[in-house]
Structure 1
């Protein structure tokens, strides 16, 4: 039963990291930074978008899987 809290903590950590990276990317786009940094910000946005599309749904446990009831 330790797996569920660890999965939840990992998901929260990943969400927070994605939010922070998105904030950094937005700041880089807003300010007058060298073109290479702007390109990196766009690459970061694209990587985050791909990552969010590829995130697997949370695993279910007997307690959360409605098909077992």
Structure 2
């Protein structure tokens, strides 16, 4: 995870490429339910839910915690 921001969590996919995990993502809710704290720099597995080429946006979802 790169940054925690109001609309969700910004995730760095590669150098210069970022995506957003929306705040309402079930993966983020599972972490909260199990008492896991999210912190900047955490490594997560994320899947691509959508790509908007015109707006240059990538929407992601949390699959599972990696580290």
TM over 0.5: no
More helix by share: 1
TM-score (norm 1): 0.27
Output the TM-score relative to the length of structure 2: 0.28
Greater percentage in strand = 2
